[in-house]
Amino acid sequence: MRNINDYRKTKLACYLGFVTQAIVANFTPLLFMAFHREYNIPIASMALILLFFISCS
């Protein structure tokens, strides 16, 4: 019984991590589309900016 209680916070942290990752993964393409629609920024340009920041980190 003690082992189940020991992992409760770990499981909660994992579930919150999954939810956060899902939000970020689904929010980014929507943000790209909003910038494309509002500011007429080509999606390819935004992808290059993203690629640049990912490769620098």
Cα distance between residue 57 and residue 52, in whole Å: 9
pLDDT in tens, 33-44: 888 899 998 988
Locate the DSSP E strands across 1-57. Answer: none
Q: What is the pLDDT of residues 14-35, one digit of tens each?
A: 999 999 999 988 888 888 888 8
Q: Would you kindly state where each structural domain of the chain is located, as residue ranges?
A: 2-56
More confident site: 57 or 49: 49
pLDDT band at 54 (very low <50, low <70, confident <90, very high): confident
Task: Using pLDDT thresholds of 50, 70 and 90, give the confidence band for residue 11.
Answer: very high
List the structure tokens of 43. Answer: 């999606």
Q: Is the pTM of this model over 0.85?
A: no
Contacts of 26 (CB under 8 A, 6+ apart): none
